[in-house]
Amino acid sequence: MKGKVYLVGAGPGDPELLTVKALRLLRTADAVLHDDLVAPEILKLIPSTTQIHNVGKRCGKKKILQGEINFLMIELAASGLRVVRLKSGDPLVFGRAGEEIESLRANNIPFEIVPGVTSALGAAAAAQIPLTHRRASSALVLITAHRASEKDGAEKDATDWSKFVASGATLVIYMPGQNYSDIAKRLAAAGLAGETPCAVISRASTKYQRTHRTTLLDLHRAPQLASPTLLIAGEVVGLADPAAAVEFVIPRLSTRDDSLHPASPFETLLSQAPRRRDEEPMA
């Protein structure tokens, strides 16, 4: 008997941004393999009888190698279990899902991808920044500042980023780290103007979210906000709510305890949804 693996996006942090399907799979999984960045409130939704494995790799500190994660997924599914590989944001955006898909295919393990709200969308929405605007930007580029290897050096990075800057697109930089001086230099070398508005967003969509708005010229002075963070650079940042001055805490719309499960209408919808046949373990 073979089980099945679900590559599931957990969204940026707020449990109410989970899809109905993601929540249903978490509630019915036999095993969950999750990243470090998945919010604790989301992990609380997993039943106590489910196997839970923290397979996070964060800030260059690897608790487990990617090959070991692949092996664990395959072994659990091959034993007939329904396995959820839970990733922060969307599994297909800087989530190494491509490598895991290759391993699952090579071992004939059935799998399905369940998209999630990627951090760029969650952070921009919470900070009220339109990622595109017909008078400011007609394109969006998602890039990462994290480099797996230093072989190519910063010069090649600046050349690559210059194409994005020249397009006039809004740039959303995942994993910018805490050295904003380095990021500012790379963006300036790529041709981004010093007066370009920028926003550093920390812990997007959670009650701990903080946003620092600045310009590229002053980006090096940005405070070191708590990880995870991302950086939005482009004219659209200037279109955010003017009341959101330099630094602020995003208020929660709900007054209920954040440690509780998602609101009752969400739970009711989940309980009424029938389980699909193709989501049962496959022979």
Poorest-confidence range of 17-21, 260-264, 265-269? 260-264
Give residues with Cβ within 8 angstroms of 129, minimum separation 6: 123, 199, 232, 236, 237, 239, 240
pLDDT tens for 97-152 read: 999 999 999 999 999 999 999 999 999 998 999 999 988 899 999 999 865 544 44
- Distance CA(173)–CA(183), nearest Å, equals 9
User: Can you tell me which residue has the tokens 């989970």?
Assistant: 18
Task: Confirm whether 61 is a catalytic residue.
Answer: no
- Distance CA(219)–CA(200), nearest Å, equals 9
**Residue spans of beta strands (DSSP E) within the chain:** 4-9, 31-34, 51-54, 57-58, 61-62, 82-87, 111-114, 140-144, 170-174, 197-202, 210-215, 229-233, 247-249
Which one from 2, 21, 30, 57 is the annotated catalytic residue?
Answer: 57
What per-residue confidence (pLDDT) applies to 273?
Answer: 52
What average pLDDT is seen over the chain?
A: 85
**At residue 30, what are phi and psi to the nearest 5 degrees?**
-90, -30
**At residue 182, what are phi and psi to the nearest 5 degrees?**
-65, -45
User: Can you tell me which residue has the tokens 């963006």?
Assistant: 187
Task: Confirm whether 2 is a catalytic residue.
Answer: no
Tokens matching residue 250: 């995003």
Poorest-confidence range of 109-118, 219-228, 237-246? 237-246
User: Residue 247 pLDDT > 90, yes or no?
Assistant: no
Q: How confident is the model at residue 264 (pLDDT cuts 50, 70, 90)?
A: very low
Q: What's at 109, amino acid-wise?
A: I
Question: Concatenated DSSP letters for 57-111?
Answer: EETTEESS-HHHHHHHHHHHHHTT-EEEEEESB-TTSSS-HHHHHHHHHHTT--E
pLDDT tens for 127-140 read: 999 999 988 899 99
Q: What is the mean pLDDT of residues 88-99?
A: 94
Which one from 14, 35, 87, 90 is the annotated catalytic residue?
Answer: 35
